[in-house]
Amino acid sequence: MSRLTSLPEKSRIDAEPLSAFNFRNMGGWYLLTNDWGQHAILESAQFKRFMAGKLSEEDPLWKTLQSRGFLRHHMDFGALATSYVRKNAFQWISGPSLHMMVVTLRCNQKCLYCHSSVVDPSRTDTDMDLATAKKTVDFIFSTPNPTICIEFQGGEPLLNWPVVKFVIQYAQAKAKATKRKLIMALVSNFTLMTDERMEFLFDHHVSFCTSLDGPSELHNKNRPYLGGGEAQQKVVAWLEKLQRKCLEDEQRKYYLPGALMTTTRFSFDYPKEIVDLYVKLNMEQIFVRALSPIGYAKRVWGEIGYGADQFVKFYEAMLDYVLELNRSGKASIMERMALICLTKILKGVDPGFMDLRSPAGAVLGCLAYNFNGEIFVSDEGRMVDHQGDPIFRVGDTAKDSWADVVDHPTTKALVSASTLDNQPMCSQCAYKPYCGAEPVFHYEMQRSVVGQMPSSPWCVAHMGIFDVIFRKMREPKNRKIFDSWLERDQCRWEENDPIPAGAAHQEAAA
């Protein structure tokens, strides 16, 4: 069987009454999905009946399949078009919402996998200067999206604090003048955080995000701290402090800090310990993320990397443990990747996650700005440039306009390559309504922005994650927990306008 899964031998098929859909053999049952973001789960016998065109209107399944657009002669076009609009909300708003500003390449940590290709803290020549910062903010505000999210990245952005401070104030002035909604997030290792900086960030409505890979022995191995000492202890101390400050003040409750974990080969030994640490720190979510073999990580892949199938196993172990803690009432922590997928699957809306979009978030959803004003399709694209390949550079804030960037040949190529209907395998995959193909990843792994999905680790990992989530979702004990996660997340969306609080955190490659 191919990875896409095939029909059973000697299947009787009558394609005439079937609407456009993709299917997946899940082993004993089938998953059906369609372009409009609807899905249905059928037992094998039901699937057989459906495919043979033997489903009568009296069949209990008929109403479900009809209302979800799987029966060609009984479709509600208006409802399906509405569902399509909701699912692809990002397509109807022009321009990127997420703007990642790399205010310095300097860093005081030297992470084993560091995407950001950092330089020594003494190299101030890789700091964004004021003139560039101003031009970058001007460029950001020349893009048409009514919501602007600026994410400070590095290197370690706190090493160029004066410019961070300037950008925050300047962007706020511009947002006020242009009547835009502005969201800002600092992605930092917290080692250079001070009370004064924290208060400034709170006062200017900047949210916080950091990297926390797990227990100190794991975190400190993955993320060595220049100058020695315990990087993990500093992260934990600041996370606790920021949480306390947020909970003390009603105005600050939306700025609860987020943390991202990056999975290296060493993480495989600590699945429970990592979750336990996040629970101990009262983190609302844990985001189990695979390491991308991009930039510096590609060179050390042999030492810290792993196969996509190994990651899926690790992901499932982590999710199982998170679910177990939820069931037993010991914790209510949510797993972010599952939440992103469930939002798409069960709510039929886009959660604003750039990696899983068709077309991908590159340029249309996000842009990355290097310290010198160069514009890249994404932060990963900038990392490729740092390794000497400028293919993903689409402009310069000193001389290019938004029109130049969106009209750049690279932008067009990436949009075309990452539109799943253009991908021979993705266009037939049951996970098409929820998934995405990341062109920078495929360029790095397969030397093609289009990629070759049958052998793509990206595809193996994401197909595996969707398999895990759909299988878990079928079990009522898990479904109850998933529904409660969606409800909690929905409350945050509603309280904090349509943008999920800290949405920018999901895009960070801290």
Partner 1 sequence: MTSTTRIPVPKKKSAPKSASSPSCVVVDLSVPKEGLEPILGAAYLMTDRAFVSLEGDRVKTITVSLTLKEPATAAGLKALKECFTRELATQKVRWAISKNNQPIREYIAEQAVLLANGRLEPAAAAPAAPADEQLTKDQRAEIEKLIAEVEDEIKAMNQKKAVPDPKNIKASWEEKQEAKLREGGKA
Q: Which of residues 228-257 bind partner 1 (CB under 8 A)?
A: 228
Please, what is the minimum distance in Å from the beta carbon of residue 21 to partner 1?
7
Contact between 291 and 262 under an 8 Å Cβ cutoff? The reply is: yes
Please, what is the minimum distance in Å from the beta carbon of residue 355 to partner 1?
22
Q: Which of residues 37-66 bind partner 1 (CB under 8 A)?
A: 51
Q: Which of residues 19-38 bind partner 1 (CB under 8 A)?
A: 19-22, 35-36
Alpha carbon distance 502, 493 (integer Å):
10
- By the 10 Å C-beta count (0-12 exposed, 13-18 middle, 19+ buried), 433 is classed as buried
Stretches 124-132, 324-332, 366-374, 484-492: which one binds partner 1 (CB under 8 A)?
124-132
Please, what is the minimum distance in Å from the beta carbon of residue 22 to partner 1?
8
Strand partners, 369: 101, 375
Q: Which residues contact 482 (CB under 8 A, 6 or more apart)?
A: 338, 342, 346, 472, 473
Residue 499 as a binder of partner 1 (CB under 8 A): the answer is no
Token pair of 95 as six digits: 């321009």
Alpha carbon distance 220, 258 (integer Å):
19
Q: Which residue's CB is nearer to partner 1, number 84 or number 278? A: 84
If you ran DSSP here, which 8-state letter would residue 157 be given? G
Exactly one of 26, 49, 59, 166 binds partner 1 (CB under 8 A); that residue is 166
Please, what is the minimum distance in Å from the beta carbon of residue 479 to partner 1?
29
Contact between 466 and 435 under an 8 Å Cβ cutoff? The reply is: yes
- The alpha carbon dihedral of 25, 26, 28, 32 has a sign of negative
Alpha carbon distance 324, 183 (integer Å):
34
Q: Strand locations in 45-123, DSSP E? A: 98-102
Q: Which of residues 426-485 bind partner 1 (CB under 8 A)?
A: 428, 452, 454-455
Stretches 140-148, 209-217, 322-330, 500-508: which one binds partner 1 (CB under 8 A)?
140-148
Stretches 6-14, 60-68, 373-381, 390-398: which one binds partner 1 (CB under 8 A)?
6-14
Q: Which of residues 92-111 bind partner 1 (CB under 8 A)?
A: 92-95, 108, 110
Q: Which residue's CB is nearer to partner 1, number 10 or number 250? A: 10
Alpha carbon distance 246, 240 (integer Å):
10
Exactly one of 28, 45, 57, 122 binds partner 1 (CB under 8 A); that residue is 122
Exactly one of 54, 82, 269, 398 binds partner 1 (CB under 8 A); that residue is 82
Residue 113 as a binder of partner 1 (CB under 8 A): the answer is no
CA-wise closest residue to 36 among 5, 67, 2, 73? 67
Exactly one of 27, 43, 52, 178 binds partner 1 (CB under 8 A); that residue is 178
Q: What are phi and psi of 44, to 5 degrees?
A: -55, -40
Q: Which residue's CB is nearer to partner 1, number 291 or number 323? A: 291
Token pair of 458 as six digits: 């990206």
Q: Which residue's CB is nearer to partner 1, number 27 or number 227? A: 227
Q: Which of residues 392-411 bind partner 1 (CB under 8 A)?
A: 402
Strand partners, 187: 209
Please, what is the minimum distance in Å from the beta carbon of residue 343 to partner 1?
19
Token pair of 480 as six digits: 């109850």
Exactly one of 77, 248, 329, 388 binds partner 1 (CB under 8 A); that residue is 77
Stretches 167-175, 283-291, 350-358, 480-488: which one binds partner 1 (CB under 8 A)?
167-175
Stretches 11-19, 324-332, 385-393, 433-441: which one binds partner 1 (CB under 8 A)?
11-19
SS (H, E, C) 417-429: HCCHHHCCCHHHC
Is 26 strand, coil or helix? coil
Total chain residues near partner 1 (CB under 8 A) = 79
Q: Which of residues 312-371 bind partner 1 (CB under 8 A)?
A: none
- Tell me the longest C-alpha to C-alpha distance in the chain: 75
Stretches 60-68, 172-180, 232-240, 407-415: which one binds partner 1 (CB under 8 A)?
172-180
Work out the number of other CB atoms within 10 angstroms of the CB of residue 121.
Answer: 17
